[in-house]
Protein backbone atom coordinates (compact mmCIF):
# COMPACT_ATOMS: atom_id res chain seq x y z
CA UNK A 1 0.00 0.00 0.00
CA UNK A 2 0.97 3.60 -0.55
CA UNK A 3 1.98 5.79 2.38
CA UNK A 4 -1.09 7.78 3.31
CA UNK A 5 -1.00 11.56 3.25
CA UNK A 6 -1.89 11.76 6.95
CA UNK A 7 1.60 10.69 7.98
CA UNK A 8 3.18 13.50 5.98
CA UNK A 9 0.74 15.95 7.55
CA UNK A 10 1.54 14.72 11.07
CA UNK A 11 5.28 15.11 10.44
CA UNK A 12 4.63 18.60 9.06
CA UNK A 13 2.49 19.56 12.09
CA UNK A 14 5.18 18.30 14.46
CA UNK A 15 7.94 20.28 12.73
CA UNK A 16 5.77 23.38 12.72
CA UNK A 17 5.15 23.11 16.47
CA UNK A 18 8.86 22.61 17.18
CA UNK A 19 9.48 25.78 15.17
CA UNK A 20 6.80 27.71 17.07
CA UNK A 21 8.21 26.68 20.45
CA UNK A 22 11.70 27.59 19.25
CA UNK A 23 10.62 31.07 18.13
CA UNK A 24 8.78 31.73 21.39
CA UNK A 25 11.38 30.42 23.85
CA UNK A 26 14.87 30.84 22.38
CA UNK A 27 16.86 34.00 23.10
CA UNK A 28 19.48 33.82 20.34
CA UNK A 29 18.18 35.77 17.33
CA UNK A 30 19.93 33.47 14.81
CA UNK A 31 18.32 30.37 16.32
CA UNK A 32 14.95 32.14 16.23
CA UNK A 33 15.58 32.65 12.52
CA UNK A 34 16.40 28.97 12.07
CA UNK A 35 13.12 28.08 13.80
CA UNK A 36 11.29 30.27 11.30
CA UNK A 37 13.00 28.35 8.47
CA UNK A 38 11.79 25.14 10.14
CA UNK A 39 8.20 26.44 10.09
CA UNK A 40 8.50 27.48 6.42
CA UNK A 41 9.78 24.00 5.59
CA UNK A 42 6.90 22.28 7.36
CA UNK A 43 4.47 24.39 5.31
CA UNK A 44 6.40 23.37 2.19
CA UNK A 45 6.04 19.72 3.14
CA UNK A 46 2.28 20.12 3.48
CA UNK A 47 2.06 21.75 0.07
CA UNK A 48 4.16 19.09 -1.64
CA UNK A 49 2.15 16.32 0.07
CA UNK A 50 -1.17 17.76 -1.11
CA UNK A 51 0.25 18.48 -4.57
CA UNK A 52 1.29 14.85 -4.91
CA UNK A 53 -2.01 13.67 -3.44
CA UNK A 54 -4.08 15.73 -5.88
CA UNK A 55 -1.78 15.05 -8.84
CA UNK A 56 -1.50 18.80 -9.40
CA UNK A 57 1.84 20.53 -9.90
CA UNK A 58 0.72 24.01 -8.78
CA UNK A 59 1.40 23.17 -5.11
CA UNK A 60 5.03 22.42 -5.95
CA UNK A 61 5.22 25.63 -7.93
CA UNK A 62 4.24 27.55 -4.82
CA UNK A 63 6.89 25.72 -2.83
CA UNK A 64 9.35 27.14 -5.37
CA UNK A 65 8.06 30.66 -4.68
CA UNK A 66 8.19 30.05 -0.92
CA UNK A 67 11.86 29.10 -1.35
CA UNK A 68 12.53 32.37 -3.21
CA UNK A 69 10.80 34.37 -0.47
CA UNK A 70 12.66 32.42 2.24
CA UNK A 71 15.99 33.22 0.57
CA UNK A 72 15.11 36.92 0.43
CA UNK A 73 13.90 36.85 4.03
CA UNK A 74 17.06 35.12 5.25
CA UNK A 75 19.29 37.65 3.48
CA UNK A 76 17.46 40.69 4.83
CA UNK A 77 16.95 39.22 8.31
CA UNK A 78 20.60 38.27 8.73
CA UNK A 79 21.62 41.73 7.53
CA UNK A 80 19.36 43.21 10.22
CA UNK A 81 20.98 40.93 12.81
CA UNK A 82 24.44 42.08 11.69
CA UNK A 83 23.37 45.73 11.93
CA UNK A 84 21.91 45.10 15.40
CA UNK A 85 25.06 43.35 16.56
CA UNK A 86 27.17 46.25 15.29
CA UNK A 87 25.13 48.73 17.33
CA UNK A 88 24.29 46.76 20.48
CA UNK A 89 27.05 44.08 20.58
CA UNK A 90 24.45 41.41 21.38
CA UNK A 91 21.95 39.25 19.51
CA UNK A 92 20.10 38.18 22.64
CA UNK A 93 16.53 39.21 21.94
CA UNK A 94 15.78 39.68 25.63
CA UNK A 95 18.23 42.57 25.67
CA UNK A 96 17.15 44.05 22.32
CA UNK A 97 14.20 46.05 23.57
CA UNK A 98 14.61 49.43 21.84
CA UNK A 99 11.23 49.03 20.14
CA UNK A 100 9.47 48.34 23.45
CA UNK A 101 7.55 51.15 25.06
CA UNK B 1 6.09 -0.97 -1.00
CA UNK B 2 7.49 -2.14 2.33
CA UNK B 3 10.81 -0.54 1.40
CA UNK B 4 8.99 2.73 0.77
CA UNK B 5 7.47 2.61 4.27
CA UNK B 6 10.84 1.86 5.87
CA UNK B 7 12.49 4.76 4.00
CA UNK B 8 9.67 7.11 5.01
CA UNK B 9 9.86 6.15 8.70
CA UNK B 10 13.64 6.57 8.74
CA UNK B 11 13.53 9.97 7.03
CA UNK B 12 10.63 11.17 9.18
CA UNK B 13 12.47 10.18 12.37
CA UNK B 14 15.63 11.95 11.19
CA UNK B 15 13.62 15.07 10.34
CA UNK B 16 11.71 15.12 13.64
CA UNK B 17 14.73 14.44 15.88
CA UNK B 18 16.94 16.94 14.07
CA UNK B 19 14.16 19.56 14.34
CA UNK B 20 14.09 19.09 18.11
CA UNK B 21 17.89 19.26 18.28
CA UNK B 22 17.89 22.54 16.29
CA UNK B 23 15.80 24.16 19.01
CA UNK B 24 17.52 22.62 22.04
CA UNK B 25 21.25 22.91 21.28
CA UNK B 26 23.04 25.83 22.93
CA UNK B 27 25.70 26.24 20.23
CA UNK B 28 24.18 27.90 17.13
CA UNK B 29 26.67 26.18 14.81
CA UNK B 30 25.42 22.76 15.96
CA UNK B 31 21.84 24.01 15.49
CA UNK B 32 22.63 25.07 11.93
CA UNK B 33 24.23 21.70 11.12
CA UNK B 34 21.17 19.84 12.44
CA UNK B 35 18.97 22.15 10.38
CA UNK B 36 20.95 21.07 7.29
CA UNK B 37 20.32 17.43 8.27
CA UNK B 38 16.62 18.24 8.62
CA UNK B 39 16.55 19.81 5.13
CA UNK B 40 18.33 16.78 3.70
CA UNK B 41 15.78 14.41 5.22
CA UNK B 42 12.98 16.58 3.85
CA UNK B 43 14.55 16.41 0.38
CA UNK B 44 14.37 12.62 0.64
CA UNK B 45 10.72 12.81 1.66
CA UNK B 46 10.03 15.05 -1.37
CA UNK B 47 11.56 12.33 -3.55
CA UNK B 48 9.17 9.81 -1.97
CA UNK B 49 6.34 12.16 -2.94
CA UNK B 50 7.56 12.22 -6.59
CA UNK B 51 8.61 15.87 -6.34
CA UNK B 52 12.04 15.59 -7.96
CA UNK B 53 12.43 19.25 -8.87
CA UNK B 54 11.53 20.45 -5.37
CA UNK B 55 13.89 17.89 -3.82
CA UNK B 56 16.82 19.17 -5.89
CA UNK B 57 15.87 22.81 -5.23
CA UNK B 58 15.62 22.02 -1.52
CA UNK B 59 19.20 20.74 -1.45
CA UNK B 60 20.60 23.55 -3.59
CA UNK B 61 18.66 26.53 -2.20
CA UNK B 62 18.01 25.60 1.43
CA UNK B 63 20.75 23.17 2.46
CA UNK B 64 23.22 24.95 0.17
CA UNK B 65 22.69 28.67 -0.17
CA UNK B 66 20.59 29.70 2.82
CA UNK B 67 22.45 27.59 5.38
CA UNK B 68 25.83 28.83 4.11
CA UNK B 69 24.51 32.34 4.74
CA UNK B 70 23.45 31.33 8.26
CA UNK B 71 26.78 29.69 9.08
CA UNK B 72 28.65 32.66 7.65
CA UNK B 73 26.74 35.10 9.89
CA UNK B 74 27.26 32.83 12.94
CA UNK B 75 31.01 32.77 12.29
CA UNK B 76 31.00 36.52 11.71
CA UNK B 77 29.19 37.42 14.93
CA UNK B 78 30.77 34.72 17.14
CA UNK B 79 27.91 34.83 19.64
CA UNK B 80 28.76 33.73 23.17
CA UNK B 81 27.93 30.14 24.07
CA UNK B 82 24.97 30.92 26.27
CA UNK B 83 24.35 29.03 29.49
CA UNK B 84 20.63 29.62 29.58
CA UNK B 85 19.37 29.03 26.08
CA UNK B 86 15.69 29.55 26.75
CA UNK B 87 13.98 32.76 27.71
CA UNK B 88 14.49 33.63 31.38
CA UNK B 89 10.85 34.64 31.76
CA UNK B 90 8.99 31.55 33.08
CA UNK B 91 5.65 32.95 31.92
CA UNK B 92 6.83 33.09 28.29
CA UNK B 93 8.23 29.57 28.50
CA UNK B 94 5.06 28.07 29.98
CA UNK B 95 2.90 29.97 27.51
CA UNK B 96 5.03 28.79 24.58
CA UNK B 97 4.73 25.12 25.52
CA UNK B 98 0.99 25.46 26.21
CA UNK B 99 0.37 27.19 22.87
CA UNK B 100 2.52 24.63 21.07
CA UNK B 101 0.73 21.70 22.69
CA UNK B 102 -2.74 23.08 22.04
CA UNK B 103 -2.04 23.86 18.38
CA UNK B 104 -0.42 20.44 17.86
CA UNK B 105 -3.43 18.64 19.34
CA UNK B 106 -5.74 20.75 17.18
CA UNK B 107 -3.80 19.90 14.02
CA UNK B 108 -3.67 16.17 14.78
CA UNK B 109 -7.38 16.17 15.64
CA UNK B 110 -8.18 17.95 12.37
CA UNK B 111 -6.06 15.53 10.34
CA UNK B 112 -7.84 12.54 11.86
CA UNK B 113 -11.29 14.09 11.55
CA UNK B 114 -10.89 14.99 7.87
CA UNK B 115 -8.76 11.96 6.86
CA UNK B 116 -7.95 13.26 3.34
CA UNK B 117 -6.58 9.92 2.12
CA UNK B 118 -10.05 8.36 2.23
CA UNK B 119 -11.43 10.82 -0.31
CA UNK B 120 -8.55 10.39 -2.77
CA UNK B 121 -9.71 9.19 -6.15
CA UNK B 122 -7.81 6.05 -7.21
CA UNK B 123 -6.88 7.21 -10.72
CA UNK B 124 -5.05 10.24 -9.28
CA UNK B 125 -3.10 7.94 -6.97
CA UNK B 126 -2.10 5.84 -9.97
CA UNK B 127 -0.85 8.67 -12.20
CA UNK B 128 1.26 10.95 -10.05
CA UNK B 129 3.62 12.64 -12.49
CA UNK B 130 3.27 16.15 -11.12
CA UNK B 131 6.79 16.82 -9.92
CA UNK B 132 9.02 16.53 -12.98
CA UNK B 133 11.16 19.49 -14.03
CA UNK B 134 9.33 19.52 -17.38
CA UNK B 135 5.90 19.91 -15.79
CA UNK B 136 7.00 22.55 -13.29
CA UNK B 137 8.96 24.47 -15.92
CA UNK B 138 6.06 24.51 -18.35
CA UNK B 139 3.75 25.90 -15.69
CA UNK B 140 6.35 28.36 -14.45
CA UNK B 141 7.07 29.91 -17.86
CA UNK B 142 3.51 30.01 -19.17
CA UNK B 143 0.74 30.43 -16.66
CA UNK B 144 2.81 31.68 -13.71
CA UNK B 145 5.30 33.88 -15.56
CA UNK B 146 4.21 37.04 -13.71
CA UNK B 147 4.78 35.63 -10.18
CA UNK B 148 8.10 34.24 -11.46
CA UNK B 149 9.25 37.68 -12.59
CA UNK B 150 7.96 39.17 -9.34
CA UNK B 151 10.03 36.62 -7.39
CA UNK B 152 13.09 37.66 -9.37
CA UNK B 153 12.41 41.31 -8.61
CA UNK B 154 11.90 40.45 -4.93
CA UNK B 155 15.29 38.76 -4.82
CA UNK B 156 16.91 41.81 -6.42
CA UNK B 157 15.25 44.10 -3.86
CA UNK B 158 16.32 41.80 -1.02
CA UNK B 159 19.92 41.80 -2.25
CA UNK B 160 20.02 45.60 -2.34
CA UNK B 161 18.26 45.82 1.02
CA UNK B 162 20.69 43.40 2.67
CA UNK B 163 23.65 45.34 1.25
CA UNK B 164 22.30 48.65 2.55
CA UNK B 165 21.48 47.21 5.99
CA UNK B 166 24.77 45.42 6.54
CA UNK B 167 26.93 48.20 5.09
CA UNK B 168 29.18 50.04 7.49
CA UNK B 169 27.45 53.13 8.79
CA UNK B 170 29.04 56.29 7.42
CA UNK B 171 29.42 59.19 9.84
Domains of chain A and CATH, by start: 5-88 (1.10.287.3510)
Instruction: Say whether B66 and A9 touch across the interface (CB within 8 A).
Output: no
Helices (H) and strands (E) counted in chain A, each on its own, are 3, 0
> Percent of chain B, pLDDT > 70?
87
Contacts of B89 in chain A (CB under 8 A): 94
Confidence of residue B13 (pLDDT cuts 50, 70, 90): very high
Question: What pLDDT digit, counting tens, does each position of B104-149 carry?
Answer: 999 999 998 888 877 776 666 555 566 788 888 898 999 999 999 9
Residue B154 lies in a domain: no
| CATH number, domain with residue B73 | 1.20.120.1200
Residue B7 lies in a domain: yes
Question: What pLDDT digit, counting tens, does each position of A21-59 carry?
Answer: 999 998 888 999 999 999 999 999 999 998 888 888 888
Residue B45 neighbours by CB under 8 Å, 6+ apart? A8, A11, A45, B8, B11, B12, B15
In the predicted model, is pLDDT for residue B171 greater than 50?
no
| B131 vs B152: CA distance, rounded Å | 22
Contacts of B136 in chain A (CB under 8 A): 57, 60-61, 64
Residue B155 lies in a domain: no
| B65 vs A5: CA distance, rounded Å | 29
| A50 vs A44: CA distance, rounded Å | 10
Q: Which of B58, B108, B131 sits opposite A10 (nearest CB)?
A: B108
Residue B106 lies in a domain: no
Q: Which of B50, B70, B155 sits opposite A68 (nearest CB)?
A: B155
Residue B120 lies in a domain: no
Number of domains in chain B: 1
Query: What is the reported pLDDT for B117?
Result: 77
Substitution target in B8, B18, B22, B39 with the highest count of A β-carbons within 10 Å is B22
Least Cα distance to B155 among A33, A73, A64, A36 occurs for A73
Substitution target in B4, B9, B23, B111 with the highest count of A β-carbons within 10 Å is B23
| Cβ-contact B131, B49 below 8 angstroms | yes
Instruction: Say whether A10 and B20 touch across the interface (CB within 8 A).
Output: no
The residue segments making up the domain with residue B76 are 1-85
Amino acid sequence: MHIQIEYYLILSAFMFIVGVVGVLTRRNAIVVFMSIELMLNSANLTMVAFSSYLGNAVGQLFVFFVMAVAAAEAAVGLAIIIALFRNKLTINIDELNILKW
Amino acid sequence: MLLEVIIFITLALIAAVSAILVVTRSNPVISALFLILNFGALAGIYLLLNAQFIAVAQVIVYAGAIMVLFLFVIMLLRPENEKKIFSSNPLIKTLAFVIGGVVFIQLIYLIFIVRPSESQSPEVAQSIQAGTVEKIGTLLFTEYILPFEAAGFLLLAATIGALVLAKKKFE
